[in-house]
Homo-oligomer: A and B are copies of this chain.
Amino acid sequence: MIQTPYLLFLGDAPDQLAAKVAQGIKDWRPENAVGQLRLPGCGADMGLTDMNLQEGLAAGAKTLVIGVANRGGVISDEWKKVLVAALEAGYDLAAGLHNLLRDEDELQAAAKIHGRTLHDVRVPSVAYPIANGQKRSGKRVLAVGTDCSCGKMYTAMSMDAEMRERGLKSTFRATGQTGILITGRGVPLDAVIADFMAGAVEALTPDNDEDHWDHIEGQGSLFHVSYSGVTMALIHGGQPDALILAHEPTRTHMRGLPHYGLPSLEQLRDTAFPLARVANPACQVAGVSVNTKALGEEDARKCLEEIEARMGIPATDPFRFGAGALVDALIAL
């Protein structure tokens, strides 16, 4: 649906975390990203070649993907200059921002004049039903986090990649704009109308072969007051057979909420597990996925050992050390 490859627009992202859309594409479909385009003051770097629009075109880019997910998603005048220039130069645009590309008159007009397409992947393209809670065939796993942005999507991506490498039946199910931009399909769950959230997750993960695993992309956190309702809908709509607890061990407060401390992994387990059992009484907590990016190798391994001993279930950093331990745990259920 979205033409590849991409030039990744990082804009004036304050830090690396703010550019998690670009990071996801770089990490999971690097062949789709020819380079990065950054504005003055940009604090993010994907380690790709910095390119202007012409250089991107010369490298084969077809679509300029906005790789920055700001809180509230505002399209500034500075951004707009670049985006209009991109349409003029022959790029399609793709974004997952709350403020839609199509709602910007200048972009709409430029796209029309130059025959280009605006992809707003955050907007649901179909009407979802209200969840019916009926048991579906096949297996599902969902990562739930102590916080937002702590590695839930990477966990699902890693487990899916590992399963497919082993020749197992497996699908990554995107629920956010990054996942949708990477895989080309999914449900933009945070943009779905409240009443239909759980139904959208049911529709995303339909009946399947009994030995097929859906890796549902997690969102938010039951402990993040801004987004906990979305997480709840994933737990009940996804009716997971397995939960993976996701955690970033160096974080000192909930993302964007400096006055909120993080829950412990035990609190997360004891909160998410009974809620998951409402929709699927057979659900198990299968493992812990720890984002150890901020730790050195030795500290990371120590941290994982400590968590594994404490929690009594496999703990790993699937992005750093592979998802083998988590996949083994799923298969053993």
Contact = CB atoms under 8 A, between A and B. Distances in A.
Interface in A119-154: 129-135
A225 B257 contact: no
B229 A133 contact: no
A260 interface: yes
A331 to B, nearest CB: 26
A212 interface: no
A92 interface: no
Contacts of A237: 225
Contacts of A197: 194, 229
A229 B225 contact: no
B189 A257 contact: no
Contact of A259 (B133, B189, B191, B226): B133
Contacts of A303: none
Interface stretch (A17-25, A46-54, A272-280): A272-280
Contacts of A244: none
Given A189-B194, A194-B193, A228 B236 contact: yes
A232 interface: yes
Contacts of A129: 72
A304 to B, nearest CB: 26
A195 B98 contact: yes
A64 interface: no
Contacts of A37: none
Q: How many copies of this protein are present in the complex?
A: 2
A72 B230 CA distance: 20
B278 A223 contact: yes
B194 A229 contact: yes
A264 to B, nearest CB: 12
A272 to B, nearest CB: 11
Contacts of A72: 129-130
Contacts of A231: 229, 232
Interface in A210-229: 222-223, 225-229
Given A232-B232, A274-B271, A275-B271, A225 B191 contact: no
Given A226-B199, A229-B236, A236-B229, A132 B257 contact: yes
Contacts of A189: 194
Nearest to A279: B225
Given A71-B130, A130-B72, A229-B233, A190 B195 contact: yes
A192 B195 CA distance: 8
A226 B129 CA distance: 10
A219 to B, nearest CB: 9
Contacts of A267: 274
A133 B236 contact: no
Interface in A200-255: 222-223, 225-233, 235-237, 239, 254
Contacts of A239: 225
Contacts of A190: 193-195
Closest 3 CB pairs of A and B: A229-B233, A225-B236, A232-B232
16 contacts: A72-B129, A98-B195, A131-B226, A134-B259, A191-B193, A194-B229, A194-B233, A195-B227, A195-B230, A223-B278, A225-B278, A226-B236, A228-B235, A229-B229, A229-B233, A229-B236
